[in-house]
Structure 1
Amino acid sequence: MRLRTLLGDHPGTAALKNGSVRSDLVEFDFVDCSPINKGFKPMVRWQAFDVSEMAIVTYLMAKSFAKPMVLLPNVVLARFQHAYALYNGKQGTLKPSDLNGQRVGIRSFTTTTGAWLRGILANDYGVDLYSIDWVTFEDAHVAEFKDTTKRAPAGKQIIQMLIDGELDAVLGEKSDHPDLTPLFPDAAAEEKAWFAKHGVVPINHMVVVSRALSDQHPDIVREIHRLLTRSANAAPAAPLFSADAMRRSLEAIIFYTAQQGLIPRAFTVDELFDDVTRALI
């Protein structure tokens, strides 16, 4: 069976994409898409692929609107998030707890990095997310989501707006510009302390398959999971999650996503999978 497949270039996908991990049951027709998040919208809106990398918050939102996709327990991108927040140091010092009432830019309000960072700010630093003047640059991948944030003027770029003083901070970005300063001055120390407190490594991207593939060809879905697992195990730098670690991370991002109004209720982890993929955890 040939499967139209969207997977980014990650350590854990390299062996699968270069053909060193292969199968007699399936072949993957890999679609070029850079950056990889540009492929999430066609998967969510039009089921453009049989197998697709997927931002976990996009998947949670898609599930809340009954999009025909099923999650696999395969993590392809996970990272701590504290380093992806900036402010303009020329405007004075800004601490995470100072964000109430500020103008904060983010590519889309529904990005996974943004959801993680907002969750950290709200629950660990007491930030009132509803007091912030959110400025966004893109729509949500899930068309049905009603975005009430302020849209940046056409042609504006998020980092330039921060440099020009049109934003007080941005989430989900890194920059070497000399005027810009990390919101968390020692991100590595903050991440270590956050992990010690919560025991969670934040998941960004996992893998989904079309519901039709799972319903009609469960053996193929099990084979996809096996191949993804083999590929990840072949790469020392790949994110390897135990079942418990994956559950803790999913529970945390489900809570944050519901808290922020991106989904109408908090799912259980088991609800994210179907009978086929749940048995693979």
Structure 2
Amino acid sequence: MSKLPLSFACWNYDRIGALVDGSVQPEGIDLNYLNMPVEETFWRMMRHQEFDVAELSLSSYLIGRDRGYPHVTAIPVFMSRSFRHSGIFVNTSAGIEKPEDLRGRRVGVPEYQLTACLWIRGILQDEYGVAPSSIQWFTGGEETPGRLEKVALQLPPEIHIQPIGPTQTLNEMLESGEIDALIAPRAPSSFLQGSPNVARLFPNYEEDEKAYFQKTGIFPIMHVIAIRDDVLEANPWVAMNLYVAFEKAKQVVYDGFNQTAALKVTLPWLTAEIERTKLAMGDDFWPYGIERNQKTLEAAVRYSYEQGLIKTRPRLEDLFVKSTLERFTI
């Protein structure tokens, strides 16, 4: 019997490497892997649903479920996760020394609805009392002019957002002082090139992020895996078979980390870093499934609702394919 061909758009993470090289194969499925940058994948999936299976922004997915489009449903496989204290950059002449200093300031975001920005706004409010309504937001391309929101936003009136000019970039505006700070998943080129005008708000971000995890138990989720609903309706078994395959592919990465005779990753102290991470977060430090991610997912949903990105607050079990909700081990 022939396998079901499915297109799969995703960046080339190590945790899908075994799926890409074929050493792990989802039962009954022939994946046509398309290696694409995340921004392109999200845009094409949200606007046109071009792929059968795709990596998708968690924030965009929550908005889509709230509005009933696009017609996709996620499985609890989290391609991208990242602590986000490192994603706040300030102009060094703006006098911003601590998070509370962001109140009343001009802050750029590439898109207001980006998952990284969703998390950072939530963290700023929960941990430092800085409400999104206390900031003047500017949106636009970070390095290239003309970036637009993937989905049209319907925000509360107390949120003040202004698009930047058609030839402006947030990076240039941050370096020149036209905006006071930038919140983004990618570090601006001015910072990467060592501009004295740009610095991180949290220079010792690793310590701050570890303290945040110890306090909250939250490891922020950025991206889910979404499957088109028409694919699921015709082949309901696809969700669990993919879920199992993603778990197996992730285990291949863990097994490689445990081989200390030769380093799998081009980092000289890889073994020490893995040991530190396991000590802080447990052996399965990048968990899939609902049970171990409940607190993180509930925080993301709450932030999206409180920030006005979604109008109703969904139950977690309504966000994922039903067959993948129970704890699953291999």
TM-score normalized by structure 1? 0.93
Partner of 1:133: 136
Matching residue's letter, 1:64 = D
Q: Which residue among 119, 124, 140 is the counterpart of 1:121? A: 124
* SS, match of residue 20 in structure 1: coil
1:240, 1:279 → 2: CA distance?
14
Change over 3 Å in CA distance of 1:142–1:93 after alignment to 2: closer
Matching residue's letter, 1:51 = V
1:90, 1:108 → 2: CA distance?
25
Partner of 2:57: 55
Change over 3 Å in CA distance of 1:252–1:113 after alignment to 2: same
Change over 3 Å in CA distance of 1:48–1:6 after alignment to 2: same
Q: What are the superposed Cα offsets for residues 142-168 of structure 1, whole Å, 9 maximum, x if unpaired?
A: 34x346621111122211110010110
Q: Any unmatched runs of 5+ in structure 1?
A: none
Are 2:163 and 1:154 equivalent residues in the alignment?
no
1:258, 1:168 → 2: CA distance?
27
**Cα pair 1:213 1:221 within 8 Å, conserved:** no
**Cα pair 2:290 2:326 within 8 Å, conserved:** no
Change over 3 Å in CA distance of 1:41–1:242 after alignment to 2: closer
2:121, 2:317 → 1: CA distance?
24
> Alpha-carbon deviation of 1:218?
1.3
Partner of 2:244: 226
Change over 3 Å in CA distance of 1:242–1:276 after alignment to 2: closer
> Alpha-carbon deviation of 1:228?
1.1
> Alpha-carbon deviation of 1:31?
2.3
**Cα pair 1:88 1:165 within 8 Å, conserved:** yes
Change over 3 Å in CA distance of 1:235–1:164 after alignment to 2: same
**Cα pair 1:12 1:239 within 8 Å, conserved:** no
Q: Which residue among 221, 225, 234 is the counterpart of 1:216? A: 234
Q: Which residue among 209, 215, 222 is the counterpart of 1:204? A: 222
1:244, 1:279 → 2: CA distance?
8
* SS, match of residue 234 in structure 1: helix
Matching residue's letter, 2:40 = K
Change over 3 Å in CA distance of 1:261–1:151 after alignment to 2: same
**Cα pair 1:73 1:280 within 8 Å, conserved:** no
**Cα pair 1:103 1:135 within 8 Å, conserved:** yes
> Alpha-carbon deviation of 1:240?
2.7
The worse-fitting range, judged by mean Cα deviation, of 225-234 and 238-247 is: 238-247
Are 2:151 and 1:142 equivalent residues in the alignment?
yes
1:156, 1:18 → 2: CA distance?
42
Instruction: Pick the structure with greater CA Rg.
Output: 2
Partner of 1:13: 16
TM-score normalized by structure 2? 0.80
* SS, match of residue 59 in structure 2: helix
Partner of 2:203: 185
Are 2:307 and 1:270 equivalent residues in the alignment?
no
**Cα pair 1:41 1:142 within 8 Å, conserved:** no
Q: Which residue among 37, 40, 60 is the counterpart of 2:39? A: 37
Partner of 1:65: 67
* SS, match of residue 116 in structure 1: helix
The number of residue pairs the alignment matches comes to 279
Change over 3 Å in CA distance of 1:19–1:152 after alignment to 2: same
Counterpart mapping for 1:81-100 below 5 A: 81-100=84-103
Q: Any unmatched runs of 5+ in structure 2?
A: 141-146, 258-284
Q: Which residue among 169, 173, 181 is the counterpart of 2:181? A: 169
> Alpha-carbon deviation of 1:84?
0.7
Counterpart mapping for 1:251-270 below 5 A: 251-270=298-317
> Alpha-carbon deviation of 1:242?
5.9
> Alpha-carbon deviation of 1:24?
5.1
> Alpha-carbon deviation of 1:276?
3.1
* SS, match of residue 191 in structure 1: helix
User: What's the C-alpha RMSD, in Å, of the aligned pairs?
Assistant: 1.9
* SS, match of residue 85 in structure 2: coil
> Alpha-carbon deviation of 1:191?
0.8
**Cα pair 2:82 2:219 within 8 Å, conserved:** yes
Partner of 2:267: none
**Cα pair 2:12 2:35 within 8 Å, conserved:** no
1:255, 1:248 → 2: CA distance?
10
Matching residue's letter, 1:180 = V
Partner of 1:79: 82
The worse-fitting range, judged by mean Cα deviation, of 161-170 and 120-129 is: 120-129
2:289, 2:312 → 1: CA distance?
26
